[in-house]
Amino acid sequence: MHIIESGNVAAANGVKLANVKVIAAYPITPQTPLTEKLSEFVDAGEMDAQYIPVESEHSALSVCIAASSTGSRAFTATSANGLLYMNEQLHWAAGARLPIVMCVVNRGIGSPWTVWNDHQDAISQRDTGWIQLYCCDHQQIIDTVIQAFYLAETVSVPVMVCYDGYILSHTYMPFEIPKQADVDKFLPSFKPEYALNPNQPANLNTVTLPDVRPDVRGDMAPGYMEIRHNLHADMRDAIDVVGDIDKKFNQIFGRGENPYIETYRCDAAEFVAVCLGSLSYHLRDVVDILREEGIPVGVAGLRLYRPFPDQAIRDMLADLKGVIVFEKALSYGNQGALFADIKAALYSSKNRPKVHNYILGLGGREIKTAHLVDALRNSCVDTDKVGDTPVWIGLKM
């Protein structure tokens, strides 16, 4: 069934189709309509789920941690400072290896207060041990939410599904809602390896000593360092799992085939613009303009950000003349976070392209097509003109 609705409604339908059993809800703009829609589904009897309104974002993720620990498929959503308020529990959920899925409707963070879009919220939490997936349109939102549960439950790592506040959350676009029977065929029921049971009391995630030690059964149990190593190793292995899940999804629904990077006019391109989220679709218009000028440029939207798909980045970008990274976030005192990750991935390549960095759109600052055209043209024409220092687009000083 095709409908025209908002990105938040697309996400809510994905959660519904995934047969989530526990929803923790706390309102924050621009995420609020997502959990409101889920409350409507539950109230109408369209979802067999517990809808739990809480007093804070910290509590929302705490509810999901408890629910997932008992073997229930759990979901929540947030934005901006709400995500930051969850920080302690983000680390806890990842360390406890709980397959929670959370939509992050990207918004700038305070202070000063802003309710508009950028990516600083999710980027600031990129090292909490959560997988991060980014969406470019409404169809990707609903599809990615469904796939996120499969991914989280396969590798036992929580997943953030990130999409742009207002630009996607509140705009209306056409998208297809899959049939429940097809989703059930794709997404297995949640069967955790272990779940809390009142008939078999147990302690989870107690204080761990620095070294390995015998557990209650006398078996050698990993220490803190081994637990962290295992999380890292499983996240690296998740890169291949993302690809496998995408193939299965494509076989059933006929969509996908771009699990790591979504490209546009990159064949025979000598320069490629790279970014996260809906900006990659905006840049397609820019690429079309520059192609008319004879500049061989394409655009690549990164779908998987954590774990970072470094081999896919090398395969695509290593032999180019230039890579131009546009991002709506930065690592303060250094440079753009995505920019730094791409440079690190390309470091071992024999033929490393020049990599340029542009910061734009922070706090919802308007991103004008003319500015993007000028920036991308300049980086393609003079590859030495822009170096490691980020250039700010739209800055009024």
> pTM to 2 decimals?
0.97
Confidence (pLDDT) at 203? 79
Confidence of residue 397 (pLDDT cuts 50, 70, 90): confident
CB atoms near residue 315 (< 10 Å):
13
386, 298, 382, 384: which is closest to 339 by C-alpha? 386
User: Which helix (DSSP H) or strand (DSSP E) does residue 220 occupy?
Assistant: strand 220-221
Joined tokens for residue 52: 């739990």
Per the DSSP assignment, residues forming a β-bridge with 301 are 262, 275
Q: Do you find a cis peptide bond into 111, omega within 30 degrees of 0? A: yes
DSSP labels, 45-67: TSS--EEEE-SSHHHHHHHHHHH
Q: d(Cα 29, Cα 182) in Å, to the nearest integer? A: 32
Q: What is the mean pLDDT of residues 162-191?
A: 97
DSSP 8-class letter at 170:
T
Confidence (pLDDT) at 96? 96
Q: d(Cα 85, Cα 162) in Å, to the nearest integer? A: 17
Q: What is the mean pLDDT of residues 311-334?
A: 96
DSSP 8-class letter at 96:
T
Q: d(Cα 227, Cα 353) in Å, to the nearest integer? A: 37
Digit-coded pLDDT (tens) for 154-173: 999 999 999 999 999 999 99
Question: In degrees to the nearest 10, what's the CA dihedral of 233, 234, 236, 239?
Answer: 170
Digit-coded pLDDT (tens) for 17-31: 999 999 999 999 999
Confidence (pLDDT) at 386? 63
Task: Inform me whether the pLDDT recorded for 208 exceeds 90.
Answer: no
Q: What is the mean pLDDT of residues 210-232?
A: 89
3-state secondary structure of 183: helix
DSSP 8-class letter at 179:
P
Digit-coded pLDDT (tens) for 363-391: 999 999 999 999 999 999 887 766 678 99
Task: Inform me whether the pLDDT recorded for 209 exceeds 90.
Answer: no
Confidence of residue 218 (pLDDT cuts 50, 70, 90): confident
Confidence (pLDDT) at 46? 98
Confidence of residue 342 (pLDDT cuts 50, 70, 90): very high
Task: Inform me whether the pLDDT recorded for 217 exceeds 90.
Answer: no
- Supply the Cα-derived Rg of the chain in whole angstroms: 21
Confidence of residue 196 (pLDDT cuts 50, 70, 90): confident
Structural domains of the chain ordered from first start: 2-186 (3.40.50.970), 261-392 (3.40.50.920)
Q: d(Cα 228, Cα 391) in Å, to the nearest integer? A: 36
238, 245, 133, 187: which is closest to 15 by C-alpha? 187
Q: Are 277 and 137 in contact (CB under 8 A)?
A: no
Q: What is the mean pLDDT of residues 23-48?
A: 98
